Amino acid sequence: MKPTRILVGLATLVGLVLATSHVTSDANVTPPVENKPAASYTSAAEIIEYGQPNRLTLQSGVAMIVDDREGVMLYGRNIERQRPIASLTKLMTALVILESGVPLDEPIKITRDDRDRLRGTKSRLGFNGVFTRHDLLYAALGASDNRAAAALARTYPGGEEAMFQAMNAKAQQLGMTQTRYVDSSGLHNGNVSTANDLVRLVNETHKHALIHAMTTTPTFRVTDQASGRQIAFRNTNRLVHRQSWDIALSKTGYTSAAGNCLIMQTTIAERPLTIVLLNSWGKLSRYGDARRIQQWLEKAERRVPPTITASASHI
């Protein structure tokens, strides 16, 4: 096409735009709303209809998948069944600590009162070591360290009992009516909840950027203020170490009574989700379930037929 024709065409187009703008302004008429295509994402209802979640086979005794964008449950199994939750407890521990306003840079000495006298679990935090409250939160959330959780409760204003009361009060405030806490680590089987309640907890803890960072960092170090020694930790959720997963919040848990547990806020196929998996008895089955959920959603997206909303809007 010759340059002169291009210029003429452009001039004509500009003239039409200016003329339309002038008429609309003089007549004081609201311009018509453009007929835009519908949102490009697949709705939760379409995923449920075409994804056939009843065919999703998981190894966890309790499972819940929630579309966070719409607040719709995509899949649920035994979501109101009350069960021990092991170290998933530590999410509430961190939430209460952060909302209490206690200084995170305050040094806390690890004592023998912080040892696990119930199950005898070990810790990399030595007795007489001194760590900031920030670093203890990191160890409790990222590495699921029980001694760190105990020290956080011991040094809470008013002590352990005040801490447990605050945890239960926060649960009630969030509408977690089937949840009870009796310690800060989750070692006690009296710490119980349901998948439905835990989704509420995840939604609340996700508001804190610090919890996001502490639960999704693959590896980190804390510093013993007494000796200057750095102690390396590794996140207990193996999925945060994989680039194929986009995880915004994470927590694992295990006791013989609770089984293997996993909570995540993640994005799969551009869909933000909350996933709760409880009572998974195989050591790796919770991760296998997460992978099965990932594959199911990706396939469900492909099964949904092209929407006719966009073309219908022009009729």
Known binding-site residues for substrate equal: 251
Measured over the CA atoms of residue 25, residue 30, residue 32 and residue 34, the dihedral's sign is positive
Q: Catalytic residue at 40? A: no
DSSP 3-state assignment of 77? strand
For residues 13 and 22, give the distance between their C-alpha atoms in angstroms, rounded to a whole number.
Answer: 14
153-168 core/surface letters (b: 16 or more CB in 10 A; e: else): bbbbeeebeebbebbb
Which amino acid appears at position 68 of this protein?
Answer: D
Measured between its terminal Cα atoms, the distance across the chain in Å is: 34
Q: Catalytic residue at 87? A: yes
DSSP 43: P
**Given the residues 87, 185, 193, 280, the one annotated as active site:** 87
**Given the residues 60, 144, 184, 280, the one annotated as active site:** 144
For residues 158 and 166, give the distance between their C-alpha atoms in angstroms, rounded to a whole number.
Answer: 10
For residues 289 and 61, give the distance between their C-alpha atoms in angstroms, rounded to a whole number.
Answer: 11
For residues 268 and 246, give the distance between their C-alpha atoms in angstroms, rounded to a whole number.
Answer: 8
**Given the residues 2, 40, 43, 90, the one annotated as active site:** 90
Residue ranges for the known binding site are: 251
Instruction: Spell out the residues 6+ positions from residue 51 whose beta carbon is closer than 8 angstroms to its own.
Output: 74, 296, 297, 299, 300, 303, 304
Q: Catalytic residue at 311? A: no
Catalytic positions:
87, 90, 144
